[in-house]
Amino acid sequence: MLEQAGLEFEVRSPEFDEEEVKRAFEGDSEILARTLAAGKAASLAANSGDWVIGSDSTVTVDGVRYSKPGDRDEAATHLRSFSGRTMLLSSAVALARKGNVEWVHTETAKLHWRSLSEQFINAYLDQEWPEVSYCVGVFRMEGRGVTLFDRVEGSHFTILGMPLLPLLGALRDRGQMPS
């Protein structure tokens, strides 16, 4: 997304233990997504004058928060749990510099899952595994994951994992992009 928007950037892994934060966190999934995005950005911005972008997403279905599947069997279990239900996907993005988080934005999309047969789930995972193992919702909207839904409400970019348009606005506000 960033490349397509014309941004020059470097990808680095954050020095941030998100699993520890998730285990200790109790509360709203939007706030968790914000906390994770901000923590990632701040961890890389600690010793840098560069702007650092951090992002993360959470998935909740019927009040249950899901993590990325550990293996294919767990992915199938997640898909069965999502079938015929509404998923809330919260994506957050943060900007930090010199260790300080200066801006955070969160958006939530509603994804209405169609009912999935066992045959479909197996065929889907045959085609999409292991790529979807990296996705908290076990789908890639830019791939076959689009076939999982009856309808979606929310920004396409939020569903892809980062509220891009608000981020671009924040970068323009900070003189990092032409306005």
Instruction: With beta carbons less than 8 A apart as the criterion, state whether 91 and 34 touch.
Output: no
Taking alpha carbons only, the member of 73, 39, 74 closest to residue 53 is: 39
Average pLDDT (15-30) is 91
Options 17, 50, 56, 73, the catalytic residue: 56
Respond yes or no: is residue 126 known to be catalytic: no
Instruction: With beta carbons less than 8 A apart as the criterion, state whether 171 and 51 touch.
Output: yes
Instruction: Identify the band that residue 73 occupies on the pLDDT scale cut at 50, 70 and 90.
Output: very high
Average pLDDT (33-37) is 97
pLDDT of 156 strictly over 90: yes
DSSP 20: H
pLDDT for residue 45: 81
What's the pLDDT tens digit per position in 93-108?
A: 999 999 899 999 999 9
Torsion angles phi and psi, residue 84, rounded to 5:
75, 10
Domain boundaries, the chain: 18-173
pLDDT for residue 162: 96
pLDDT for residue 49: 83
Could you tell me which CATH number the domain at 18-173 has?
3.90.950.10
pLDDT for residue 46: 77
pLDDT for residue 172: 96
Structure tokens at 91: 């994506």
pLDDT for residue 77: 98
Ramachandran region, residue 97 (left: φ > 0; alpha: ψ -120 to 50; beta: rest):
beta
